[in-house]
Amino acid sequence: MFVFLWLWALLCGVSGETAPESVGKIRSSAEVAFSKGDIEGAAKLWAKVIALEPTNDGNFFKRFRVFLRLNKYKEALADLNSALQLKPSNEAALVQKGKLELRLGRCADASSSFKKLQRYIWLPTS
């Protein structure tokens, strides 16, 4: 059994370190880079995290912040859309998507995003 697992790890390029631990370390490094102002470095690290964990909506949301800081609005919006595709009820992503759409002058899209948000939280209507 050990030989089978060793061969599988060798063929799949798995190192001695487990994937969740290495993803966690990269994620932590991305957060540190962002907080220290190394925005380009944070973007590269978040790309690695997303490549390793493409189904985690939170990773896309965190990279959205990086793209926003870099004024890469199309990329930021794409990451918000990815986060929402994975978890449509991500309230923070819906709020930020609406705000970004407003910033881009996409008022109808922003209105749609905010209406979707009403499905998940109670907002007073006028």
Per-residue model confidence as pLDDT tens digits over 33-49: 999 999 999 999 999 99
Instruction: For residues 100 and 73, give the distance between their C-alpha atoms in angstroms, rounded to a whole number.
Output: 8
pLDDT of residue 126: 59
How far apart are the two ends of the chain, measured CA to CA in Å?
A: 65
How much is the CA Rg of the chain, to the nearest whole Å? 18
Q: What is the pLDDT confidence band of residue 121, given thresholds at 50, 70 and 90?
A: confident
Q: Which DSSP letter does residue 55 get?
A: T
pLDDT of residue 120: 81
Confidence (pTM): 0.77
| Sequence spans of domains, the chain | 18-118
Span 78-103, pLDDT tens digits: 999 999 999 999 999 999 999 999 99
Helix, coil or strand: residue 1: coil
H helix intervals, 13-126: 19-35, 39-52, 57-69, 73-86, 91-103, 107-118
Sign, CA dihedral 28-29-33-36, equals positive
Say yes or no to pLDDT of 114 above 80.
Answer: yes
Classify domain 18-118 at the CATH topology level: 1.25.40
